[in-house]
Amino acid sequence: AQSVSQHNHHVILSEAASLELGCNYSYGGTVNLFWYVQYPGQHLQLLLKYFSGDPLVKGIKGFEAEFIKSKFSFNLRKPSVQWSDTAEYFCAVTSRNTGNQFYFGTGTSLTVIP
Amino acid sequence: DSGVTQTPKHLITATGQRVTLRCSPRSGDLSVYWYQQSLDQGLQFLIQYYNGEERAKGNILERFSAQQFPDLHSELNLSSLELGDSALYFCASSVGYRGGTTEAFFGQGTRLTVV
């Protein structure tokens, strides 16, 4: 079955620590990959996206993600987190094989301690 | 502001009742998605419409239905409500279904509380 897996459900970090959130997908063919962020009480907002080209994608607020096709992964990274990064992070995939429908992972809750 | 408008923002209703949630997509977007977000289930895909037609169905209960109108706004109808239906319901829109994709833009959500 097609799926998006986010293995880290809850992550707690101190400010200035480095962050890496895992995302793995199981879809065939060409995929488009996204990371969304949901700050407390708000809607989901796009952090970054990958359609093609350089597999290292830079997004807003210092976030980046690397697409590794052989591992079916699209992990999110940030070298130094801030308290304001406390939020829920969702990985999402679309694929032409599935009619470009968005599939979301279950999310990772990040808490950054000042 | 994502450009996706959802109304109402909050809704409190009793068990057994029926409610309608409304979504206006971004100008030019033809695809509308509905998601349910609850604490225990996470973000669950309910249904997708493209240019008025149903394109994909996810974990949508039979008590729930949706439609997309000619002006591309969409409504999600929830009937015979149960306590467990209390959740945040998000609508998202994107450019299209065929010929490539862009990101989905999310509305602010409707928080439904069933008492």
| Rounded mean pLDDT, B96-106 | 71
State residue A1's pLDDT score: 59
Mutant choice from A6, A35, A39, A44 vs B, greatest count of B C-beta within 10 A: A44
Q: Which residues from B are below 8 Å from A when comparing CB atoms?
A: 2, 31, 33, 35, 42-43, 45, 48, 55-56, 90, 92, 94, 96-98, 100-101, 103-109
Q: Do you know the residue count of chain A? A: 114
Residues of B in contact with A34 (CB under 8 A): 103-104
- The residue with tokens 């109402």 is B8
Weakest mean pLDDT among A23-32, A49-58, B57-66, B81-90: A23-32
Q: Which residue has the higher pLDDT, A25 or B42?
A: A25
Weakest mean pLDDT among A11-15, A48-52, A92-96, B105-109: A92-96
* Residue A31 near chain B (CB below 8 Å): no
When CB atoms are compared, the residue of A46, A100, A107 closest to B43 is A107
Half-sphere exposure in the Cβ direction for A28 (13 Å, CA): 2
* Residue B8 preceded by cis peptide, ω within 30: yes
User: Could you give the strand order of the β-sheet that contains B74-78, starting from the edge strand earlier in sequence?
Assistant: B5-7, B19-24, B74-78, B64-68
Weakest mean pLDDT among A22-31, A73-82, B26-35, B98-107: B98-107
| Contact flag A100-B100 (C-beta cutoff 8 Å) | yes
Mean pLDDT over all residues of chain A?
91
Q: What is the pLDDT of residues A43-94, one digit of tens each?
A: 899 999 998 899 999 999 999 999 999 999 999 999 999 999 999 999 999 8
B26 neighbors B20 (Cβ within 8 angstroms)? no
Q: Do you know the residue count of chain B? A: 115
- Encode burial over A55-86: b for 16+ CB neighbours within 10 A, e otherwise: eebebeeebbbbbeeeebbbbbebeebeeebb
d(CA B103, CA B95): 8
pLDDT value at A104 more than 80:
yes
Q: What is the pLDDT of residues B46-63, one digit of tens each?
A: 999 999 999 888 889 999
B99 Cβ contact list (under 8 Å, min separation 6): none
State residue A72's pLDDT score: 93
d(CA A91, CA A108): 9
Confidence band (pLDDT; 50, 70, 90) for B97? low
Residues of A in contact with B55 (CB under 8 A): 99, 101
| Contact flag B107-A32 (C-beta cutoff 8 Å) | no
**pLDDT > 70 fraction of chain A, expressed in percent and rounded:** 95
pLDDT value at B99 more than 70:
no
pLDDT value at A98 more than 90:
no
State residue B98's pLDDT score: 56
Residues of B in contact with A99 (CB under 8 A): 55-56, 97
A64 neighbors A77 (Cβ within 8 angstroms)? yes
d(CA A80, CA A68): 22
Residue in chain A nearest B106 by alpha carbon = A44
* Residue A40 near chain B (CB below 8 Å): no
